[in-house]
Amino acid sequence: MLKDITGRQAIRDNIDKKLKDSKALTQSEKKHIRLNPFILNLSILIPVFGTFILDKIFFGKPQISAIIADWIIGGFIPLILITINFITKTDTFLFIAFVLYVLTRIGICIIVNEHIYTYNKYIKQKLY
């Protein structure tokens, strides 16, 4: 059987756990439990911080894929390349760091928006 690589089932399981642990929600709490895509998309601009927060919301803990894709490829490697750029005074490393950062941000933005859609859709199904 093919594993759920999108993480949709893990998101649903985390929501079920959150809703089971909480008491009956008021109408105001129901309104605020849905996620705001604009704010969450701003948070992904910062490597490590954004995905850590988002993984806590979506899955309850950081995911290995986020650590590899964002923390290492989108954060740590560009930081090393920028450091090498300052040492060697070669703009090539700065360009590569910039491209890695931008490409990981685009990829993570696509994934996060898919997660936000899944999260909000499932919340809507469960609460309304």
Domain ranges within the chain, ordered by starting residue: 8-127
Q: Which of 49, 42, 41, 94 is nearest to 67 (CA)?
A: 49
Residue 98 near residue 74, CB atoms below 8 Å: no
Q: Taking the C-alpha atoms of 41, 42, 47 and 49 in order, what is their torsion angle to the nearest 10 degrees? A: -100
pTM of the complete model beyond 0.85: no
- Per-residue pLDDT of 63-118, as tens digits, reads 888 888 888 998 999 999 999 999 998 889 999 999 999 999 999 999 999 999 99
Helices (H), 5-90: 8-21, 27-33, 37-43, 49-58, 64-66, 77-88
